[in-house]
Amino acid sequence: MKPPIGRGAAQRAVAPVHVVGAASTRFLPEHDAMLDELVFEAVYKALRECGLRKQDLGLSVLASMDVLDGRSISSGLTNSAAGGYLGDSFRVEGDAGLAIVCAAQAIASGDVEVAVAVGVYNPERSGGAATRRAFVEQVSNLGFEPHFDRPIAMTANASYALQAGYGLVDRTVADYATLAADEISRGGGLERSLRRFAATQDDVLASVPIAWPLHELMLPAYSTGAVAIVLASPARAGRCLGRDARLTGLGHATGGYTWPGEWLTDPGATSRRAARMALAQAAVSPDQIELAEISAPTPALHRPYVDALGVGGETTINASGGLRSNFPGLANGALRLLEVVDLLSVRPRGTTAVSHSVDTETGIVSEDVTLLVAEAI
């Protein structure tokens, strides 16, 4: 008998895909580099790490956005730097997590043996942090519906603030501050953190108010740079050097627009759908997940996301300090997986981890979520 067709249908089996290379540029508040120089550096390092060459690539998938990159079809500039010259390549406008999913699908299809996914983020606007933040918010505003939402200045931060305010029913602003301070302090001593200090609840509450009830130190630690992930089929991975972890679940979900209101009443719903999809492919239950990198743009979203993934007591969450320590914009999905495979490399075979990422272009509205299930080999 055929399985049922439609959204209730059982998840099909998906062939596993190996992570054999992962590398990044340095993470800086602003890079003085052409976008393609950043992409080339990350991809070049990631290929070197696993002993592969550009000529081994069957597909390059890039994540970036024209309107941040200051040029239409900006992937024209960055495509060769991603290894796409005379090869299969395309660009998604979204988070690097989605680029990883697309690259992994090509390998799981049996079409490609080696693929690279790379995210790059260095908004083409100079000036201080405030200028750059205002620019990113301006771009975010253009991402909203043009006739109703743009005129009232909806932006990503406005949506996050609305959700954080709505969430104050069973939590307090102090709770948000405590969580932010914990994450900043946890990442404070780590190489990849942009906030190299310990913070207290008071520090967070004393930081610049962004939009009630959010303060600057509750928001992600914006950085710039590029992160590349090299993927290979199980057979090809066997002949690679360097790191090896296995992706067994590829989850992707997109939330509704402002109208249904789910982004306020159930902000974890999109992450929950991505997790259900990925965990079904991996045939893993949430209680088997030992490590998780979760991308909560505000402390108010941390608990809804954790609950959506079903991870709990025994899981190590955001050992990196999460987004409060480093958030390289559209490259985030690849950074979270890089953090996960770094952690898995010193864990016993079979250890299961998840890498969760979101795009922030329109904040929690129409939120795009990817969830990758990774396993130590």
Partner 1 sequence: MAYRAAVAGVGLTEATSPRKQTRSTIELCQQAVQATLAHSGASPDSIDAIVTGNIDGFEGTVLGAKHVTRLLGIGADLPVTIVNTGGTTGGNLMQVAARMVRSGTHRRVLVLGGPTFFGSTDLQSAINTNSPMIIEQPLGMGGYHMGAFAASAYQERYGLTADDLAAVAVADHAKASRNPFAHLRYEMTPEEVLAGRPLSSPLTQPMVCPISTSAVAMLVADPEDVADLATTPALIKAMGMSADPYLGGGKGDFSRMQNLANLARRVYALADIRDPLGEFDAVEIFAPYAHMQPMQLEALGFAPPGGGIDLIRSGATDAGGTLPTNMSGGPKCTNAGVAGELAPYAYAALQVMGDAPASIQIPGARRSLGHGTGGSFFQFENLAIFESLARSN
Partner 2 sequence: MTTTANTETAAPTQAVHWDLHYDIHLGETWSQFMEGLRQKKILATGCSSCVRVFVPPQAYCESCFEPTDGWRELPHEGTLEVFTVAWHGFTGGPQAPYAIGAIRLDGASTLLMHWVVGVDFTPGADVREQLPFGTRVRAVWAEERTGQILDIAHFEPVG
176-209: buried (b, 16+ CB within 10 Å) or exposed (e) per residue? bbbbbbbbbbbbbeeebbbbeeebebebbbebee
Among 13, 15, 29, 138, binds partner 2 (CB under 8 A): 138
Among 29, 76, 151, 209, binds partner 1 (CB under 8 A): 76
- The verdict on 89 binding partner 1 (CB under 8 A) reads yes
Spatial separation of the C-alpha atoms in residues 64 and 117, rounded to whole Å: 11
Contact 329, 224 (CB under 8 A): yes
Contact 79, 91 (CB under 8 A): yes
Contacts with 47 (C-beta within 8 Å, 6 or more apart), sequence order: 21, 53, 54, 56, 57, 83, 116, 230
Spatial separation of the C-alpha atoms in residues 123 and 348, rounded to whole Å: 39
Binding mask 226-265 for partner 1 (x = CB under 8 A): ------------------------x-xxxxxx-xx-x---
Nearest distance from residue 37's CB to partner 2, in Å? 5
Spatial separation of the C-alpha atoms in residues 263 and 270, rounded to whole Å: 9
54 binds, among partner 1, partner 2, none (CB under 5 to 8 A by kind): partner 2
162 binds, among partner 1, partner 2, none (CB under 5 to 8 A by kind): none
33 binds, among partner 2, partner 1, none (CB under 5 to 8 A by kind): partner 2
Beta bridge partners of 224: 28
- The verdict on 77 binding partner 1 (CB under 8 A) reads yes
Nearer to partner 1, 102 or 323 (CB): 102
Among 51, 70, 209, 312, binds partner 1 (CB under 8 A): 70
Instruction: Enter the tokens of residue 77.
Output: 């500039």
Q: Phi and psi of 121, rounded to 5°?
A: -150, 110
Q: Binders of partner 2 among 6-35, rule CB under 8 A? A: 31-35
- The verdict on 114 binding partner 1 (CB under 8 A) reads no
Q: Which residues bind partner 1 (CB under 8 A)?
A: 2, 5-7, 9, 12-15, 36, 65-67, 70-73, 75-77, 79-80, 84-94, 98, 101-102, 104-106, 108-111, 139, 142-146, 250, 252-257, 259-260, 262, 269-270, 273, 277, 281, 361-362, 365-366, 368
